[in-house]
Amino acid sequence: MSSSGMTYFRRIRRRTRSAVPSRIPSGAVGHTTIRAHRRTATVAVASALALTALAACGTSSSDNGDSDGGDSGNAANAAAPLDAKTKVTLTIDCMPPAAEKAELKQWKEDVAAFNKKYPNVTIKGKQTDPCLEPPRFTAMLKAKSQPDVFYTYFTDLQQVLDNDGAQDISAYVNDKSVPALGDMDPNVLNVLKKDDKLYGLPYSNYTMGLLVNRKLFKKAGLDPNSPPTTWAEVRTAAKKIAALGDGVSGFGEYSAGNNGGWHFTATTYGLGGDIVSKDGKKAAFNNDTGKQVVDNLKAMRWDDNSMGKTQLLKWGDLQKQMAADKLGMFLAAPDDITYMVQNLGAKYDDFGMGPIPGQKATLFGGNDYMIKKGSSPDQIKAAIAWINFKFLQPGKGQFDWARTKADGLPVGLPQPNFWTGDSKTTDDKARAASSTMPVENFQAFTDKPVTGKAEPPKAQEVYKVLDTLMSAVLTNENADADKLLKTAEQQVNQVLANQ
């Protein structure tokens, strides 16, 4: 699997929207599943509707189509949507396991509804939990054993293509096969393209912003409905929150486990900077923007003492601090809140979000489905029809928020968040109408959407280098920002030279 900005721990979290006992305002009761990396759920055998749980290696699609796949069909035929009479079988990744009862129920309901429209399409779901593990994913690609419709992260495209694993679906995806295509965030679609060819369709996505503890904001005399939008404002607010005492920190940051480098990247994007050059061959952060990031952190840590003494933090540490009301702010994605509610006993009411400080751009990521290279044209059309039916229709499938609420799952987080235009308006309204949490707490985040920006190439290796920079700044009061940036630049250039 290619490098990801969130690290393996964070990236596999984004499959479900499970409820939390006694924490959701509606009183819904569910089970803890959204953080797939923090629990070991049983991989179960599917029941009803002929949803067969396949072996982890998946199955080949060669029995259903020619070896040339979609490349052999002409453009006119490819552009036509799936004929309802077409008979085809699909194996599909990331079917919810039995432990995720509500999600599995919804999957079965959607398969049944899909089969009313396409009665001759057989869906065979593959249950793996988590949906993707790096070693298994890489081995699967090399063995050509991925399901016909397989789950990936946004950052996996190059690895998939290096293994000749995914079908070019450009000719098949249009406003007939995916009616809401025109309202899809082009930045999300672009990350699934290479050389203007489209290889996947999104399932979910996230953008990063500033997560705040509303209780601490109020105690410090700050307005939680107006989170800071610049780093100068963050610094001022952090000092006021830290002044509450009792071990409270105003702002928290990572500096271990590659998470520090990931957040250095997010912060740099917010200020309009880059981590690598446009051609992806050279480091691009040893400049005034990079120095601003380092100097600001150094000032908050050592001059203001608003970041606490405990450093070398990785993913999970800041969430624990905030859930315990010991931290005022940190950079995060919306579903960090669900993690704190489900796993740390927090309440949705206590948190809010604003845009990433600077607002020039924000780091984004997510997951998607691709179609196995060599699939027949009918399989490709059927796969796109299913992906659209289940994941890309406002008001239906995964965006049926009324059903999600009725099934005891939380509703209200601004994620997935890849709609624009009329589809966004429709989805926002439906999400708010079925919300199980105070959506107004995220209004500062949703009302000021920031353009998403993909992670750099060789992300994990780059982040590992930048971790060293972050840890030095946060643990050494005398750290030399210029020297740290220069050393990191040289090391990242070496990483990029080995692509």
Question: What single string gives the DSSP state of each residue in 64-92?
Answer: GS-TTGGGGS-HHHHHSPPPTT--EEEEE
Which range has the worst mean pLDDT, 6-15, 265-274, 290-299? 6-15
Residue pointed to by tokens 């309202």 = 183
Give phi and psi for 364, each to the nearest 5.
-135, 160
Nearest CA among 178, 186, 230 for reference residue 205: 186
CA–centroid distance for 391 within its chain = 15
Question: What pLDDT is stored for residue 128 in this prediction?
Answer: 82
CB atoms within 10 A of CB 115: 15
Render pLDDT for 119-132 as a digit per residue (tens, 0 to 9): 999 999 998 878 88
The sign of the dihedral angle between the CA atoms of 245, 208, 2, 481 is negative
Residue with token string 């610049």: 230
Averaged pLDDT, 328-354: 94
Which pLDDT score is estimated for 235?
98
Is the separation of the CB atoms in 162 and 376 below 8 Å?
no
Q: What pLDDT sits at residue 27?
A: 27
| pLDDT for residue 33 is more than 70 | no
Instruction: Tell the burial category of 9 from Cβ atoms under 10 Å away from its Cβ (0-12, 13-18, 19+).
Output: middle
pLDDT digits (tens, 9 = 90+) for 431-488: 999 999 999 999 999 888 898 898 998 888 999 999 999 999 999 999 999 999 999 9
**320 CB-side CA count, 13 A:** 7
Place of tokens 């997560």: 211
Which amino acid is located at 168 in the chain? D
Residue 236: pLDDT band (50, 70, 90) is very high
Residue listed under structure tokens 């601490």: 216
Q: What is the DSSP letter of 275?
A: S
**Strand, coil or helix: 459:** helix
Mean pLDDT of 287-305: 98
Structure tokens at 91: 């194996």
Q: Per-residue pLDDT for 70 more than 50?
A: no
Joined tokens for residue 188 = 């999300």
Look at residue 95 and give its three-state secondary structure: coil
- Across 106-129, average pLDDT: 96
Strand 209-213 with 327-332, pairing? antiparallel
DSSP 300: I
Q: 410-432: per-residue pLDDT in tens? A: 999 988 989 999 999 999 999 99
Over residues 401-409, the mean pLDDT reads 96
Q: Would you list the DSSP string of 352-395?
A: EEEEPTT-S-EEEEEEEEEEBTT--HHHHHHHHHHHHHHHS-TT
DSSP-derived letter for residue 283 is: B
| CB neighbour list of residue 85: distance below 8 Å, 6 or more residues apart | 120
In this predicted structure, the answer to whether residue 44 has a pLDDT above a threshold of 50 is: no
Q: Cα–Cα distance between 329 and 234 in angstroms, integer? A: 8
* Radius of gyration, alpha carbons of the chain: 23
| Across 68-91, average pLDDT | 79
Q: Count CA atoms closer than 13 A to 406's CA, side-chain side.
A: 6
Quote the mean pLDDT of the chain.
86
Q: What secondary structure does DSSP assign to 144-199, as a single string?
A: T---SEEEEEGGGHHHHHHTT-B---TTT-STTTSTTGGGB-HHHHHTTEETTEE-
Query: Is the pLDDT at 274 greater than 90, yes or no?
Result: yes
Cα torsion 329, 335, 337, 340: sign = negative
- In one-letter notation, the amino acid at residue 27 is G
With beta carbons less than 8 A apart as the criterion, state whether 465 and 376 touch.
no
Q: What is the reported pLDDT for 75?
A: 67
